[in-house]
Amino acid sequence: MTATNATPERQERLDGVTVFVEVVRLGGFARAAEHLDLTRSAVGKAMARLEARLAARLFHRTTRVQSLTDDGQIYYEHCLRALSELQAAEAQMQSGRHAVGGRLRVTMPVLFGRHCVAPILLNLAQQHPSLDLYLSFSDRPVDVLAEGFDLAIRSGVLGAESAGLRARKLVVQRKQVCASPAYLAAQGRPQSTAELATHSILLYRRADRINVWQLPDATGRIVDMPLTSRLQLDDLEAIADAATAGLGLAWLPEWLVRDRLRTGKLVSVLDDQPGAARDCYALWPSTPHMPLRLRLAVDALVEHFAEGGE
The yes-or-no answer to whether 99-173+278-306 and 175-269 have a common fold is yes
Q: Is 164 left (phi over 0), alpha (psi -120 to 50) or beta?
A: left
Bridge partners for 67 per DSSP: 60
pLDDT at 8 (0 to 100): 47
Which of 167, 162, 190 has its CA nearest to residue 178?
A: 190
**Cα–Cα distance, 257 to 197 (Å, whole number):** 23
Q: CA 103, 98, 6: angle at the middle one, nearest 5?
A: 80
pLDDT at 42 (0 to 100): 87
Buried residues in 105-131 as b, exposed as e (16+ CB within 10 A)? bbbbbebbbebbbbeebeebbeeeeeb
CB atoms within 10 A of CB 92: 11
Q: Where are the domains of the chain?
A: 8-97, 99-173+278-306, 175-269
The CATH number for 8-97, chosen from 1.10.490.130, 1.10.260.40, 3.20.20.10, 1.10.10.10, is: 1.10.10.10
Bridge partners for 232 per DSSP: 203
- Give the pTM: 0.61
Residues 6+ apart with CB under 8 A from 290: 97, 284
Residues 6+ apart with CB under 8 A from 310: 116, 171, 173, 254, 255, 258
**Cα–Cα distance, 165 to 278 (Å, whole number):** 19
User: Does domain 99-173+278-306 bear CATH number 3.30.9.10?
Assistant: no
User: Does domain 175-269 bear CATH number 3.90.1150.10?
Assistant: no
Average pLDDT, consecutive stretches of 10 residues, N- to C-terminus, the chain (310 residues)? 44 69 85 85 88 89 75 88 74 58 91 93 92 90 87 84 85 92 94 89 84 82 85 92 95 92 94 83 86 91 78
pLDDT at 203 (0 to 100): 92
pLDDT at 64 (0 to 100): 60
pLDDT at 2 (0 to 100): 41
